[in-house]
Amino acid sequence: MTTAAPATGSRDLPHPERGEIRLEAVLHALSDPMRLQVVRELAADGDELSCSDIVLPVTKSTTTHHFRVLRESGVIRQVYRGTAKMNGLRRDDLGDLFPGLLDSVLAAAAGQARRLGSG
Amino acid sequence: MTTAAPATGSRDLPHPERGEIRLEAVLHALSDPMRLQVVRELAADGDELSCSDIVLPVTKSTTTHHFRVLRESGVIRQVYRGTAKMNGLRRDDLGDLFPGLLDSVLAAAAGQARRLGSG
């Protein structure tokens, strides 16, 4: 029996299943200022953003690395749509596993940015 | 003008002031399973514990390193009392800076431990 490949099938990127997501990996993913900025932008947008929508003050390869850490920890889902790699927060999975955690991190990041005058 | 040295003065350990604590460093400190276990034990105890009260399955020098990361990030306060190094969570500072964050991490850690059957 064969199944029809989904449109994005041939270039699917590896993601942890919900049950494979670990708190330590999520906290590590969120512990970097660039990755935290990505997560804040995705949360503010509320939908998917392409990698090129999110401009970080680092090289392209470093940016790719940060998105990969976020994906492999289970914080974001990355899917190819045409030539664009689109990114979205895994809010449902994180909210189910770790209720309130993502929102408290986002609020903490916003509060710190206000205090430090950095956005 | 001189001030009387506190009893613990000669061996005070460096701590960040409240305003110097950074979210990224706190998340990094919490992203290690051993350090998360220390924080869970301190939270469960609610008071200070000595380093020897908290037994981790790692060497003494690695344990010392983990406590140091927790102290330097602002998650715990370490003070000498006699010959014992006592450790306490900086709940007030963290709660003021990042409301709800510590509790959501503790709840997430407890939930994960239940799911994984590891305490």
H-run or E-run covering A87: strand A84-89
Domain count, chain A: 1
Of B100, B111, B112, the CB nearest to A104: B100
* A17-20 contacts, C-beta under 8 A, 24 or more apart: A18/A74, A18/A93, A18/A96, A18/A97, A19/B115, A20/A74
Residue showing tokens 């190819």 = A80
ipTM here: 0.88
Query: What confidence tens digit (pLDDT) does each residue in A2-47 have?
Result: 444 444 445 789 999 999 999 999 999 999 999 999 999 999 998 8
In a domain, B10, yes or no: no
Q: What is the CATH number of the domain that holds A30?
A: 1.10.10.10
CB contact under 8 Å between B36 and A30, yes or no, is no
**Enclosing domain of residue A87:** 18-107
In a domain, B9, yes or no: no
Structure tokens belonging to residue A116 = 């430090």
In a domain, B78, yes or no: yes
CB contact under 8 Å between B112 and A28, yes or no, is no
Count how many pairs of residues, chain A against chain B, have C-beta atoms within 8 Å. Answer: 75
Interface of B to A at Cβ within 8 Å reads: 19, 22-25, 27-28, 30-33, 36, 97-101, 104-105, 107-109, 111-112, 115
pLDDT by residue, tens only, chain B of 119 residues: 444 444 444 578 999 999 999 999 999 999 999 999 999 999 999 889 998 899 999 999 999 999 999 999 999 999 999 889 999 999 999 999 999 999 999 999 999 999 998 75
Spatial separation of the C-alpha atoms in residues B99 and A104, rounded to whole Å: 7
CB contact under 8 Å between B23 and A107, yes or no, is no
CB contact under 8 Å between B97 and A112, yes or no, is yes
In a domain, B13, yes or no: no
Q: Are B70 and B62 in contact (CB under 8 A)?
A: no
Q: What is the pTM of this model?
A: 0.89
